[in-house]
Amino acid sequence: MTLSMYQAAVPVFVRALDNLTHVLKKGEAHAKAKSVADEVLLQTRLIPDMLPLVKQVQIACDMATRGTARLAGVEPMSFEDNETTLEQIYARIERATEYIKTFKPGQIDGSETRTIVLKMRSGEMTFEGQAYLLHFVIPNVFFHCTTAYDILREAGTEIGKMDFIGQA
């Protein structure tokens, strides 16, 4: 059986973002029990030179939505990075997930050789679709979801591997 580009992208991103919501809700419950305001939790970092929790979530959403759109050959949806509450963060994740779900297999399958050019601060990066998905987008989505998990865990939230991975 062959694994399609759609199967390797859309369900993976939806599950990652759903599980991110799950660990954030556990983090929210822990923060509320400790009288920690949303704004404080969202600005929590592992170390001073890393991005805070809110930015980790924003980037995870951006990587998943933009990655899916670029594989489909369409202009990616844009989000403002203006969330200051957990309610707003949950809404962003929901918008990202719903957007990703709008893509159909026919839009993404066959994108293995599509040329994707990213304009980065350091210059342009050029990928073929399969390498873009497997070596750039998926690792980035999971890096930022993992970092969000780690921030919550370090802050004392009782979460574990199964919270991150989710139920099958």
Dihedral pair phi/psi, residue 8, rounded to 5° = -80, -15
Domain 5-165 classification at class level: mainly alpha
Nearest Cα neighbor of 96 from 111, 83, 109 is 83
**pLDDT level of residue 166 (50, 70, 90 thresholds):** confident
Q: Which residues contact 85 (CB under 8 A, 6 or more apart)?
A: 38, 39, 42
What's the predicted TM-score (pTM) here? 0.95
* Sequence ranges of the domains in the chain: 5-165
pLDDT at 88: 97
pLDDT at 108: 98
CB 126 within 8 A of CB 116: yes
Judged against a pLDDT cut of 80, whether residue 1 lies above it is answered with: no
Find the mean pLDDT for residues 12-31: 97
Express as a percent the part of the chain with pLDDT over 70: 99
Nearest Cα neighbor of 132 from 59, 43, 66, 80 is 66
The model's pLDDT over 106-152, given as tens digits with 9 standing for 90+, comes to 999 999 999 999 988 999 999 999 999 999 999 999 999 999 999 99
Dihedral pair phi/psi, residue 102, rounded to 5° = -75, -20
Instruction: Using the structure block, give the residue that is written with the tokens 């997930």.
Output: 97
N residues, the chain: 168
Give CA torsion, residues 133, 137, 142, 145, to 10 deg: -140
The model's pLDDT over 64-109, given as tens digits with 9 standing for 90+, comes to 999 999 999 999 999 999 999 999 999 999 999 999 999 999 999 9
The model's pLDDT over 153-163, given as tens digits with 9 standing for 90+, comes to 999 999 999 99
